[in-house]
Each structure stands twice: as C-alpha cells, then as structure tokens.
Amino acid sequence: MEKVEVHAIPRVKLGSQGLEVSKLGFGCMGLSGFYNSPVDDEAGLAVIKRAFESGITFFDTSDVYGPRTNEILVGKALKQLPREKVQLATKFGVVGFDLRKQTQQINGRPEYVRACCEASLERLGVEYIDLYYQHRIDQTVPIEETMGELKKLVEEGKVKYIGLSEASPDTIRRAHAVHPISALQMEWELGIGIVSYSPLGRGFFAGKGLTEELPQNSFLQSHPRFSGGNLEKNKPLYVRSENLAMKHQCTPAQLALAWVLHQGDDVVPIPGTTKIRNLDNNIGSLKVKLTEEDVKEICDALREEDVRSREMERVKLGSQGLEVSKLGFGCMGLTGVYNAPALKQLPREKVQLATKFGVVMPGGRWSNTQYYINGKPEYARACCEASLERLGVDYIDLYYQHRIDPTMGELKKLVEEGKVKYIGLSEASPDTIRRAHAVHPISALQMEWSLWTRDIESEIVPLCRELGIGIVPYSPLGRGFFGGKGVVEAIPQDTFLQSHPRFSGGNLEKNRPLYVRMENLALKYQCTPAQLALAWIKNLDNNIGSLKVKLTEEDVKEIRDAVREEEVVGLRTAFESSTW
C-alpha cells in the first residue's frame, strides 16, 4: 500500500464510548447508484481516496447499498488506506425496498443480525466494524432482542460501537438501556452523537431538480418533495438559500452543510458525492462561519412547514415515526365490513393500516374482568400471522403491542461471544434506546438530520447527549439538495431521488427558494451552500475552536431563519417510517 498524504480535518467524539471520527464524514451510498447512476470502481475508489487525503476518516456504507456492491467497493478502497486510521460504519436491517410502492422490508431478528454482520465483514475484507448501525427498526421484534445480539457482537470483537438510524426517542432510550448507543443517524437525551445524512436535502440545496435536471434513473424522480408538482412549489426555498449563500459568499450547498455543522461538535454530517469537485466543495463548508443570527436567518428562510410533498395534511402519531392523514377512521363498529375485502378496492400503498394484539379474551368475547394480557414473542407472532390472513394483506403498517418483552435476546449474545465490539441503532425511538442501553451500551445512533430535517432536535438529540451516545446524522446535505442536487445539477433518472418526496411532484421547485437563500448566505461566508449546511451542524455548540469553519450564534440564527424547517416542501423520505 502506497503512503497516502493526509490533510487535517478536526476530529470529534461520537458518544461516550470512545469513538473518535473526522468532523466531516463521507456517505458512500451514491457511488453505487440511488441518486445518480453507479460509478465504476476506478472513479469510486478515486473519490474515497481523495476524501481520505483531504482528512476525512469516517466512511459510511450499508449492506443494502447496491445492494452489497457498495460494501465491496469500500472494501477495495480500504486495501489502499491504513485501516487503523479509518472509522468504518456500515448497517443492517433493510432487506429490500420497492420504490414504486414506497415500501421497505425490515428484519431485526437476532439470527439475521449475526448473519448480516458476518457477511459485511467478508465483503469489506475487515476483521471488525468500527460502527455498526441498525439501519431501520423492526417493529415486529423487541429492540431489546436486536440489541442483545449486537451486544454479543461487540463482546466478540467484531463490532466496536453501536449506532441507530432513523430511530424514535422511545426506541433510542430502550436500546441505550441495553448497550450504549454511540451514534444516531438522522436526516437532521443521553450524550449520543448525531450523524446527519442528506444534509443537502437529497441534493435540493445543491440545485437538484432546479439548476440541473433530475436523472431519470434517480430515486428522486419518485421522492415526494421532487415530484407531483412539489419540486416547483419547493423552488422558492432554493431561491432563498441562494440569496443567503450570496451573503455568506458561498454556494447554497455549502451554506446548507455549514448549517448542519453548526449544530454541535457531537454532530458529524456524512454528505456523499460521485464528483471530486463536489467533495472539495463539501469540505470547504468547514470554513464557513455562522453566527446565531445567521442560523436564525437560515431557519426562518427555510421553514420546514413550507416544504411541499403532498397537498393533504399529514401528521405524526406519537414518537414512533408513523405518519398518517390528520383524520383517521375506526372500524370496530363495522364488524361486517372488517372481514370484507375493503382494502382490495383501495391502493394498499396509500393506506396506513393499524391493528392490535395482546389482549386475550377467554371464550372469544370481551369482558371487563375476563381477559388478560399476553406479550410473549411466540404469541405476538401467532397473532400477527392471523391478522395478516384475516386482513388479506402482506404487511401491517401499525401493529400495537400492549406489553413489550424486556429481554435483549440474541443481540446481547453476539456481544458476549465477541463477534461484535460495540452496538449501534438506526432510526430508533428514545424508549427503545434507553431499554437497549440498559442491557448493553449503545455506541451510536444513526438518524437523518439536515437544515430541512430537524425533527430530532427536540427530543432525540437531548436524549442521546444525556446517555453519551454518539449521533451520526446521515444526509446532512438534505439528500444532496444543499449541494445543488436537482437545483444546479440534474437528478439521475435511475436514482432514489427521482421518487423522493422533496425532489418530486413539484416539491423540488417549491423548495428551490431554500437553496437560493443558502446560496446567498454561502456567499457571505465565501463557501458553497453545502459547506454552509454542514457548518451549521458543526457549530450548534460553542466549542468549535479547532474547526476551520466558525459560526457565531448570530450566524447560526441567520442560517436557521433562512432555511426554516416548516418551509421545506415534501416528506423527508419516500418511505413511510417503519422503524420508530
């Protein structure tokens, strides 16, 4: 292996378990397609090597990217880099997804956890994984059982730290109670480090769909914020970010990244790109300085409620991530209709179906005194199978369990066997994190966090910091939005962004003003909108002396005012959350 010259990028700690990474990470997903067409190995290896030479040591991948080919590519790159200087993060849990139906299959069973870990180690060609995320939370499996197996993998030395991605506050707490979570990855209590993915809003703040066409093979073609007229409705957001970027003398993408970076030293955005010039621009966001006024200005300019994805009002139920129509319908009184094939007359993918298990009624009839609760795993499975058959569906959107099994199960065994060193969660709720953390320390929680995805700030971020879990915000550039994705460059036709809510259906156009504002702010800081978006996350805390990009409280406020979360048009993902 030839000697690689490395430039300095500040280093920060994720969580309280000892994981230390570069302040800016690199998301490898796009190298294998999704937002754009896949690049060949030579181009992919060149980008990864350039990132390392620039000082980035934290690389993020997953077994579902490609699928599997992304890990193989990263494994090839690692053979050209000093392994001991690289912090490698990968994930498990997403078995597959259907962009057309906007659904995904999740598996958090202990045996699946172990099998995925072993397979990833082989594809990556490494003996251990620095940060292992649960990519999405399996609602059919108690988080304690999944965490139990992850804990065993930590004890076996196959994993060093554990993280979660897109987890709800409740899930985060339950998982953290089993084993410390080091990082939480979000598109945006416990000392958990935050890894922000899509800090550019799926590329929106980089001009995706606005200054450049959306690639025909891109996921963004079906993304709620980039389709159905939503892109056009979101365009004003990009325009605002452009204006703000001009003020800070940077691009909208740099401003968007600066905003993310401003959020704190326990926040590490992982923007990805297939182009070296974009990589260099992203790194340049570290030089963007934002004051609190700047952050407020960005947030006010890009309000989340302004982001368009659907015309019908939708709300979240509790803290589990389920998003439904504002008005629901209770079917209990329609006993005849319940067993009728009503769903066969409706588009299944647009219906959020909820049913329950756990209350046992002897004799099959309800009684205020003659009933009891059963939360055993085998009973839960039997009930689910029976409900699926009666309803005539392949899956249940929301499955209520009246009582949760407190055991950790297989995840803890994996840690005890030494096959995993540290356990991480992905997209978990606070309760799940606490419960999992009690069984085995969770090292990292992976959640989405960016200028246009900030819903984790109120509960999940404080929870992670309380428990000392590192937070890994994925998509800190908002799926590339703050890097110009769909705004200054086209979204590939064969990528995930083609169907992303914020890049499709007219939403990209509606979100464009957010990028414009960021662009104007970026000019002020002599950086790109993407760099500013990352700088925003970096500078949320005051301890930023070692960072190249320094934002004052006024800067942070200005950026926040310019990119107000409520102004972002479109859901933050094309998939209905299936994990919290």
Residue 579: inside a domain, yes or no? no
| Crossing angle of helices 110-124 and 69-78, rounded to 10° | 50
Higher pLDDT, 228 or 5: 228
- Based on the fold, state whether residues 370 and 415 are members of the same structural domain: no
Q: Is 568 part of a structural domain of the chain? A: no
Do residues 334 and 221 both lie within one domain?
no
In the block, residue with structure tokens 């000093």? 82
Instruction: Note down the domain range covering 178.
Output: 11-312+406-562
Question: Which domain CATH number covers 552?
Answer: 3.20.20.100
Any idea which of 4-8, 170-174, 206-210, 454-458 has the lowest mean pLDDT? 4-8
Annotated catalytic sites, by residue?
65
pTM: 0.58
Q: Alpha-carbon dihedral of residues 187, 319, 168, 234, nearest 10 degrees?
A: -10
**Overall average pLDDT of the 546-563 stretch:** 71
Per-residue pLDDT for 393 more than 60? yes
In a domain, 576, yes or no: no
What pLDDT does 331 receive? 43
In this predicted structure, the answer to whether residue 190 has a pLDDT above a threshold of 70 is no
pLDDT greater than 90 at residue 189: no
Q: Is the pLDDT of residue 140 over 70?
A: yes
Domain contains 574: no
Average pLDDT over residues 159-163: 95
- For residues 496 and 451, membership in a common domain is answered with yes
Chain mean pLDDT for the chain: 76
The reply to whether 241 falls in a domain is: yes
Average pLDDT, integer, range 158-171: 90
Q: Are residues 120 and 259 in the same domain?
A: yes
**Do residue 385 and residue 412 come from a single domain?**
no
The Cα 514–Cα 533 span in angstroms is 11
Examine the domain organization and report whether 265 and 361 are in the same domain.
no
3-state secondary structure 181-216: CCEEEEECCCCCEEEEECCCCEEHHHCECCCECCCE
Q: What is the DSSP string of 460-529?
A: HHHHHHHHT-EEEEEETTBBTGGGTBTTTBPPPBTSTTBT-TTTSEEHHHHHHHHHHHHHHHHHHTTS-H
Q: 365 with 484, same domain?
A: no
Residue 364: pLDDT band with limits 50, 70, 90: low
Task: Kindly report the number of other CB atoms within 10 A of residue 364's CB atom.
Answer: 6
**Is there a domain that residue 418 lies in?**
yes
Averaged pLDDT for residues 446-451:
77
Domain count along the chain? 2
Distance, in Å, from the CA atom of 201 to the CA atom of 204, rounded to the nearest integer, reads: 5
pLDDT confidence of 414, banded at 50, 70, 90? very low
CA angle 90, 96, 102 (to 5 degrees): 115
219 and 341 part of one domain: no
Q: Is the pLDDT of residue 136 over 70?
A: yes
| Structure confidence at residue 6 as a pLDDT band (50, 70, 90) | low
